């Protein structure tokens, strides 16, 4: 099969997968649609509708029956995939496994509270509001991950002592794995209080949420699920990931621009927002709108 260079690129595949997930969301479990336009080849010159898509739970199986295309594979709602055409797998397994934290939790030791206050300029009220606790066996901060409506999604555990710093406990892999914060619950529906700020880690989000609605991506990936939730909450959106993720931010902004339109901006940070005082954050965010 003759594959054009552009069709080998990861972005090309990701964009097609995003279309498949959007289209597949309308299918019932077990349902198949045939004779639709292929998001990989567009059906060629004659716009031949030869693409088939089947939903099996959270997995969407696809196949293009055009001989010159032949794209085939599976993509999970969480963005993981198996690409049979290129024999490529995403780094995650196709169905990510849920992970539930069963270790007992306790209040953060005073010395650790003091550390967070001194290092990042948090107040004890910030920490209380974010629900941060402590896992004594492995000596890690436990930071809840919640939906925009305050529903529990799991935890991120952060070690103050070892690398890697963060460890994810996602309880339901169907949830978007991002964590939401706001000055008040009311602000999620108050458009006058916009923009929505998109940050990398939860500590930055806790700081930003003193003033703005904020979503922590729990990393740097803006995938289909997170994009759908950001769109649901509404914009405009300011992406303010850490400085070393600036190029990736620009790239992802272009990748998802079709959905976000011109209402998403990327700001270039000098240092992580968790280290910035409130006035600086306000200046950075409002300067970008
Ligand atoms: Zn095709």
pLDDT in tens, 272-281: 999 999 999 9
C-alpha of residue 86 to centroid of ligand 1, in Å: 14
C-alpha of residue 180 to centroid of ligand 1, in Å: 38
Q: Are residues 67 and 120 in the same domain?
A: no
Percent of the chain topping pLDDT 70: 93
**Is the residue at 46 inside a domain?**
yes
C-alpha of residue 38 to centroid of ligand 1, in Å: 5
Picking from 36, 60, 89, the residue at the C-terminal end of a domain is: 89
Q: Are residues 204 and 78 in the same domain?
A: no
First to last CA, the chain: 47
Categorize the per-residue pLDDT at 89 as very low, low, confident or very high, splitting at 50, 70 and 90: low
In terms of pLDDT, which residue wins out, 57 or 289? 57
**Highest mean pLDDT: which range of 150-154, 172-176, 231-235, 250-254:** 150-154
Q: Are residues 10 and 131 in the same domain?
A: no
Give the up-direction half-sphere exposure of residue 71: CA atoms within 13 A in the CB hemisphere.
27
Q: Is a pLDDT exceeding 50 seen at residue 238?
A: yes
Q: How many domains does the chain have?
A: 2
DSSP string for residues in the chain? ----GGGGSHHHHHHHHHHHHHHHTTSPTT-EEEEE--TTTTTTTTT---EEEEEETTEEEEEE--TTT--EEEEETTS-EEETTTTEE-SS-SSPPP----S--BPPPHHHHHHHHHHH---HHHHHHHT-EEETTTTEEEEEEE-TT--EEEEEEE-SSSSS-EEEEES-TTS---EEE-SSGGGGT-GGGPPEEEESSHHHHHHHTTTSEEEE-SSS---HHHHHHHHHH---EEE---GGGHHHHHHHHHHHHHHHGGGEEE---SS-GGGS-HHHHHHHHHHH-
C-alpha of residue 72 to centroid of ligand 1, in Å: 9
Categorize the per-residue pLDDT at 7 as very low, low, confident or very high, splitting at 50, 70 and 90: low
Domain that holds residue 63: 5-89
Measured CA to CA, the distance from residue 212 to residue 237 in angstroms comes to 11
Residue 90 confidence (pLDDT): 67
C-alpha of residue 37 to centroid of ligand 1, in Å: 8
Measured CA to CA, the distance from residue 21 to residue 272 in angstroms comes to 33
Cis peptide before 61 (omega within 30 of 0): no
pLDDT in tens, 91-146: 454 445 788 999 899 999 999 999 999 999 999 999 999 999 999 999 999 999 99
Categorize the per-residue pLDDT at 8 as very low, low, confident or very high, splitting at 50, 70 and 90: low
Q: Are residues 162 and 229 in the same domain?
A: yes
Categorize the per-residue pLDDT at 3 as very low, low, confident or very high, splitting at 50, 70 and 90: very low
Picking from 89, 118, 140, the residue at the C-terminal end of a domain is: 89
Task: Mark the residues whose beta carbon lies below 5 A from ion ligand 1.
Answer: 38, 40-41, 64, 66, 69
C-alpha of residue 4 to centroid of ligand 1, in Å: 13
C-alpha of residue 68 to centroid of ligand 1, in Å: 8
Percent of the chain topping pLDDT 90: 56
Residue 87 confidence (pLDDT): 75
Measured CA to CA, the distance from residue 182 to residue 215 in angstroms comes to 9
C-alpha of residue 77 to centroid of ligand 1, in Å: 21
**Is the residue at 208 inside a domain?**
yes
Residue 120 confidence (pLDDT): 94
C-alpha of residue 174 to centroid of ligand 1, in Å: 28
**Is the residue at 99 inside a domain?**
no
Q: Are residues 143 and 71 in the same domain?
A: no
C-alpha of residue 62 to centroid of ligand 1, in Å: 10
Q: Are residues 160 and 20 in the same domain?
A: no
pLDDT in tens, 173-205: 878 999 999 998 888 878 777 899 999 999 999
Interacting residues of 113 by C-beta distance below 8 A, sequence separation 6+: 124, 127
User: Residues, the chain, total?
Assistant: 289
Model pTM?
Answer: 0.70
**Highest mean pLDDT: which range of 7-11, 96-100, 150-154:** 150-154
C-alpha of residue 1 to centroid of ligand 1, in Å: 13
pLDDT in tens, 18-52: 889 888 888 999 999 999 999 898 888 888 999 99
Residue 4 confidence (pLDDT): 46
Mean pLDDT, rounded, of the chain: 88
**Is the residue at 98 inside a domain?**
no
What is the rounded average pLDDT of the residues 231-235?
88
**Is the residue at 104 inside a domain?**
no
Picking from 89, 121, 142, the residue at the C-terminal end of a domain is: 89
- Tokens found for residue 142: 């436990």
**Is the residue at 103 inside a domain?**
no
What count of other Cβ atoms lies within 10 Å of the Cβ of residue 215? 26
Q: Are residues 37 and 175 in the same domain?
A: no
Q: Are residues 167 and 238 in the same domain?
A: yes
C-alpha of residue 261 to centroid of ligand 1, in Å: 26
C-alpha of residue 282 to centroid of ligand 1, in Å: 47
Q: Are residues 126 and 256 in the same domain?
A: yes
Q: Are residues 49 and 124 in the same domain?
A: no
Q: Are residues 119 and 244 in the same domain?
A: yes
**Is the residue at 195 inside a domain?**
yes
């Amino acid at each position: 099969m003759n594959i054009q260079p552009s069709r080998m690129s990861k972005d090309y595949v990701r964009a097609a997968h995003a279309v498949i997930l959007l289209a597949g969301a309308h299918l019932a479990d077990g349902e198949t649609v045939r004779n639709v336009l292929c998001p990989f080849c567009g059906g060629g010159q004659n716009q031949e509708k030869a693409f088939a898509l089947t939903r099996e739970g959270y997995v969407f199986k696809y196949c293009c029956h055009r001989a010159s295309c032949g794209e085939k594979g599976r993509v999970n709602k969480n963005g993981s995939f198996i690409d049979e055409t290129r024999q490529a797998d995403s780094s995650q397994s196709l169905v990510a496994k849920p992970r539930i934290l069963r270790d007992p939790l306790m209040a953060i030791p005073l010395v650790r509270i003091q550390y967070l206050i001194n290092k990042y300029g948090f107040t004890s009220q910030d920490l209380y509001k974010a629900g941060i606790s402590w896992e004594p066996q492995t000596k890690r901060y436990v930071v809840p991950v919640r939906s925009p409506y305050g529903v529990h999604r799991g935890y991120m555990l952060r070690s103050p002592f070892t690398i890697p710093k963060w460890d994810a406990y996602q309880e339901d892999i169907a949830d978007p794995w991002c964590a939401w914060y706001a000055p008040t619950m009311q602000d999620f529906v108050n458009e006058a209080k916009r923009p929505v700020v998109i940050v990398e880690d939860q500590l930055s989000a806790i700081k930003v949420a003193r003033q703005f609605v904020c979503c922590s991506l729990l990393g740097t990936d803006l995938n289909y699920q997170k994009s759908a939730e950001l769109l649901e909450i509404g914009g405009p959106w300011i992406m303010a990931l850490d400085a070393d993720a600036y190029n990736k931010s620009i790239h992802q902004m272009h990748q998802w621009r079709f959905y976000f339109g011109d209402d998403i901006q990327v700001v270039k940070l000098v240092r992580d927002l968790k280290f910035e005082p409130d006035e600086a954050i306000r200046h950075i965010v409002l300067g970008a709108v």
